[in-house]
Structure 1
Amino acid sequence: MTEPPPFYDDLAGCLDETWRRLEEGAAHQSGFHTPALATIGRDGAPRLRTVVLRGVDRTLRTLRVHCDARSGKAAEIAADPRAALHAYDPKAKLQVRIEGTARLHGQDAVARAAWAASRPMSRVCYATSPGPGTPLAEGGATIQPRDDEAVEAGFPEFRVIVLTAARLEFLYLARQGHRRALFTWDGEAEAATWLAP
């Protein structure tokens, strides 16, 4: 039997490992790079999709992803900011579920900084027409920008989603016994407890 990792029986270590893996995910270095984001649809039903984790700030408990202003998720967050993020790294055998409040940023300092840090191939999406989710007569019936100026014209459609964690669940799968922990924040006050896996 292999030796358990240092965080195995350490609540603070579990939280630290979670943020470390999320930071690595934002840097394309772990399985947490493409988590699933859940929002609440206008009909009250859950909506779920894979997103790319772009930034993490453990001090502020925030996670950053990008979306198109014309997308369903942007409209859903504008109507109800409650959101959740799920990530699973099969190599690390680690699952994280985060619930909190999402905020949309568009054409502000947060959006401009994220746009400037984005690769040109990522910016193309926001200048493509029609917008995400529009019904098409055929699969390729979209128009992509042809030059840098046309790509830059997509900035008004670019949105940054910043999710602030209010609840975080950690689950580590191990042969010698799983470990599950819950972390919650009421304002800045943190509470932590083990949960039965």
Structure 2
Amino acid sequence: MTEALPPWRPLLRAALQREGRSVSARWVQLATNGRDRTPRVRTLVFRGWSGVDQLELFTDQRSEKGKELSNDGAAELCWLFPKARQQFRLRGMVQLITPAEQAELCQQRWQQLSDTGRAVWGWPTPADPLDPSATFPEQLSETSPLPNHFVVLRLQIETVERLHLGPHPHQRTRWSAATHWQEQSLNP
């Protein structure tokens, strides 16, 4: 028996479809707590769903976000859909899945990337000083070995807020896993 989709998932899917083929429709902003306890935010690419309330992203384990999430795990995602005039905020805990822990899953996700998508994992360590002689491949084929620093980030969603900017007044709604995704209307 498959688990039913939470009520916010069809709304998010409709907003995503409204964006059409826009590359930026898959861009999400991930907010974390820095190791120095200050906020950090960066843009990642939505990669898919793992279950009805788990979202997947990929990262380089050598990056700061990987280190931050391994310390804390708490994160919030902001996903803006300009054409649909909607914003979704998804909050929860991130699990870092490394090749050492789940080689088969990571290998599968690695092979699903495009050759250019895989290339960034062949680059030098993120945020290190630039070495002018370093190589930055433009492509890595699917037969390229899975790097140990390729990590799947799986966000276990606990709370979702949707802000619909179309109507007047704007509409704001919250769902929480703690209430079995019962819808709560909020002031915008």
TM-score (norm 2): 0.82
Q: Is the 8 A contact 2:53 2:157 kept in 1?
A: yes
Look up the equivalent residue of 1:171 and give its one-letter code: L
1:123 deviation in Å? 1.2
Look up the equivalent residue of 1:136 and give its one-letter code: L
Q: 2:71 aligns with which of 79, 89, 94?
A: 79
| Match in the other structure for 1:120 | 115
CA shift in 2, pair 1:48/1:13, >3 Å: same
Look up the equivalent residue of 1:190 and give its one-letter code: W
| Match in the other structure for 1:132 | 126
- Pairing of 1:39-188 with structure 2 (within 5 A): 39-57=32-50, 59-107=51-99, 108=102, 109-129=104-124, 131-136=125-130, 140-145=132-137, 152-153=144-145, 155-186=147-178
1:155 deviation in Å? 1.8
1:155-180 deviation digits (Å, cap 9, x = unpaired): 21111101011000001012432111
CA shift in 2, pair 1:114/1:21, >3 Å: farther
1:67 deviation in Å? 0.6
Q: Is the 8 A contact 2:7 2:181 kept in 1?
A: no
| Match in the other structure for 2:3 | none
Q: Secondary structure at the match of 2:169?
A: coil
Range that drifts further, 12-21 or 162-171: 12-21
Aligned residue-pair number:
178
1:98-144 deviation digits (Å, cap 9, x = unpaired): 10010111112321111011111111111212x0011226xx55323
Look up the equivalent residue of 2:12 and give its one-letter code: T
Moved over 6 A (4+): none
CA shift in 2, pair 1:141/1:185, >3 Å: farther
Report the Cα distance in structure 1 between the residues aligned to 2:138 and 2:9, rounded to whole angstroms: 45
1:19 deviation in Å? 4.2
Q: Is the 8 A contact 1:81 1:102 kept in 2?
A: yes
1:21-72 deviation digits (Å, cap 9, x = unpaired): 45x59x9668541010111111111110011111124x53011111111001
Look up the equivalent residue of 1:47 and give its one-letter code: R
TM-score (norm 1): 0.79
CA shift in 2, pair 1:14/1:147, >3 Å: closer
Report the Cα distance in structure 2 between the residues aligned to 1:122 and 1:115, rounded to whole angstroms: 9
Gaps of 5+ in 1: 1-11
1:17 is the counterpart of 2:8: no
Look up the equivalent residue of 2:120 and give its one-letter code: C
Q: Secondary structure at the match of 1:91?
A: coil
1:192 is the counterpart of 2:187: no
